[in-house]
Structure 1
C-alpha cells in the first residue's frame, strides 16, 4: 500500500539512499532518509496508492549549497522544471519528474493514506484533476511546523508514538484537503459513497462491530445491491468492508492495550471479537505478534 516507484533515466546516475529511522503502522510509513547524487540526472518518481510528503530537514539542506539545483515538475503538464521547496506533496497515482544536481541531503519521506486514518475515513479524498504546482513548494506554516515535529517523533519515538503520529497526520491531511480539495463538491467524485453515508456507516460499526460481517444488511439500509455497495465502499475508502472493519478493530485494540490495567480478554470483547482466541489470531495476522507480545514491546519502548 505505501509504495513509491523511483526510475532514473540514466542508470549510471542512480543515487545512494539510506534509512536512519522508520515508523510504520496502519495508514502510514515514514522514514528519515539520506540521499546523495554524485552526478546530475533526471528521474521519475511515482506515488502509487499513497500520498507522499517530503520534508528536507533544515540543517541538512543548509549544509549543502547545491540543493537548489534540484527541480521538478508533474508529468504530462506543459510547464518548465521549477525549484522544489522544503516541503513537497505528491497525491496518490501521481508521476513526478525530478531533476537533481550533484547534492547530498537528508529528508523525511512520509507515505500515508488519509482514508485509512480513523477520523478521516468519512471524508472524500478524490485527487483526480487536482494537480497544482504549489504542491512542489508548500508554504503553509502549519504544515512546516507539523512536518518538523513529525520528523522529531520518527527520529526519537516516545510514548505511544503510533497514536501520536496518527494524530499529527490527521491534522496534516486536513490542511492538505483545505488547500487542494476544499472547493470541491461531493459530486466531483463519482462512483463513491457520500460523506454522509460514510459517517453513518462509521457510527454504526463503532456502535455494533458485528454489523461489519453483513454486507447485505448494510447495503439494504441504502437500498442498493450488496455488490454495488461493496464496490462503492472500496472506491471510497480503498479497502474492502472486511479489511476496513479488521483494521479498525486492531487500531482500537492497540490503543486499549496501552492501558496495562485492561485485561486482554476485555480488549477482545470491547473490539467486537467473540472470544480472546479469535482476537489473538486476528491481531497476530495484522500486527505480526500476539496482543501480549505487543503490550510487552510497548512497555520496552516506552517504559
Structure 2
C-alpha cells in the first residue's frame, strides 16, 4: 500500500515585533494550506488578534472545554482569548496577516480594579469585538510596530495601557447587559444573511422588517446581543467584504459602486476611517506581505 502523505501544516512568520512593559506586539503572516481545526492555548496574558487581511472563509471559534465540541461562533476582525483559555479555530485555507498582542493580565486587572468573569457570555462576546475604541488602538499599535519612531517602546506602553482599559470596559459592558432583551438567534442569522448577500448598506427599516420588529426594538436588541451598535456592525462587515474584494483584484471604483457609495472618494474615506489606510495602500501593503509568504514557502 502506498504510504500516506501528512497534510501540510499552517505556518507563521513574524514580520515585526515590539515589546514594552505590560505588552508584546507582533505583525505576523499565516500560510494556511488546507482547512484547519486548530487549538490556540493562552498562558498568563490576554491574547488580542486584529486581522489585517481578510480571514479565511467560514472562520469560527469555540471553547471546546467549556461549550462542548459542536458550538462554534463567527470570528470577527478582532478577537480576544483570555488568560488560561484554549480556543479552537476552524476555517478555510488561505493566507492572512494579523497584529497579535499579548497583554499582561495583571495590568488589565489592576486598571480595572478586579478580574473579569469569563463566563459563556464574555467568551462569546470576545470572539467578535465591535468596539471602535479597541479597533482604533490596535491600528495605532500596528503602525508603531511596523514603523517604530522616537520613544517607540514608551509609546507602545501607553497604547497598551489604553488597550487594557478599553478591554476592561468592554468586559464590564458585557457584564452589565440585561439578561433579556437581546435578539433571538434566528433574527441574528437573518441579519447576517442580508449582509452577506448584498454589499450595499441596508436601511434599518429593511432589517427591522426582516426581523419582524420596530427599528427601535432592533437597535436596542442588537446592542444587547453584540455589545455594539448595529450601524457600527454593518460598517465593519462591509469593510471586511471590501478588504476581500481588494485582495481579489477588484478596482476601487468597482467596489465603491457595488457597495452603494456615491463615488470612489467617499468609499476611500470610509475605508480609511475603518481600516486605518487607503484602499490602494492596504492592497499594496498586504499584497507585499502575502507575496513574501509565497516566496518563503
- With the length of structure 2 as denominator, give the TM-score of the two structures: 0.52
CA 1:124–1:14: 2 relative to 1, 3 Å: same
State how far apart, in whole Å, the 1-side matches of 2:107 and 2:168 are: 15
Say whether 1:74 aligns with 2:63: yes
Max radius of gyration: which structure? 1
State how far apart, in whole Å, the 1-side matches of 2:97 and 2:44 are: 24
1:129 is aligned to 119
Of 144, 154, 162, the residue aligned with 1:171 is 162
2:268 is aligned to none
| 1:1-303 mapped onto 2 (5 Å cutoff) | 12-57=7-52, 60-61=53-54, 67-75=56-64, 76-78=66-68, 80-116=71-107, 120=110, 123-129=113-119, 131-181=122-172
Shift of 1:85: 0.5
Q: Which runs of 4+ in 1 moved over 6 A?
A: none
Q: For residues 70-101 of structure 1, what are the alpha-carbon distances to aligned partners after superposition, in whole Å with 9 as ceiling and x for unaligned?
A: 21112221562222110011110111011121
Q: For residues 135-191 of structure 1, what are the alpha-carbon distances to aligned partners after superposition, in whole Å with 9 as ceiling and x for unaligned?
A: 111000111111111111111111111111111121111111122146879xxxxxx
CA 1:125–1:166: 2 relative to 1, 3 Å: farther
State how far apart, in whole Å, the 2-side matches of 1:83 and 1:183 are: 18
Q: Secondary structure of 2:129's partner?
A: coil
Count of matched residue pairs: 169
State how far apart, in whole Å, the 2-side matches of 1:18 and 1:25 are: 21
State how far apart, in whole Å, the 1-side matches of 2:127 and 2:118 are: 17
- With the length of structure 1 as denominator, give the TM-score of the two structures: 0.51
Which ranges in structure 2 are unaligned for 5 or more consecutive residues? Answer: 1-5, 177-297
Which ranges in structure 1 are unaligned for 5 or more consecutive residues? Answer: 1-10, 186-303
Structure of greater relative contact order (alpha carbons < 8 Å, 6+ residues apart): 2
Does the 8 A contact of 2:41 with 2:85 survive in 1?
yes
Q: Secondary structure of 1:159's partner?
A: coil
Shift of 1:32: 0.2
Does the 8 A contact of 2:23 with 2:101 survive in 1?
yes
Does the 8 A contact of 2:32 with 2:94 survive in 1?
yes
State how far apart, in whole Å, the 1-side matches of 2:93 and 2:173 are: 38
Q: Secondary structure of 2:106's partner?
A: coil
Does the 8 A contact of 1:26 with 1:116 survive in 2?
no
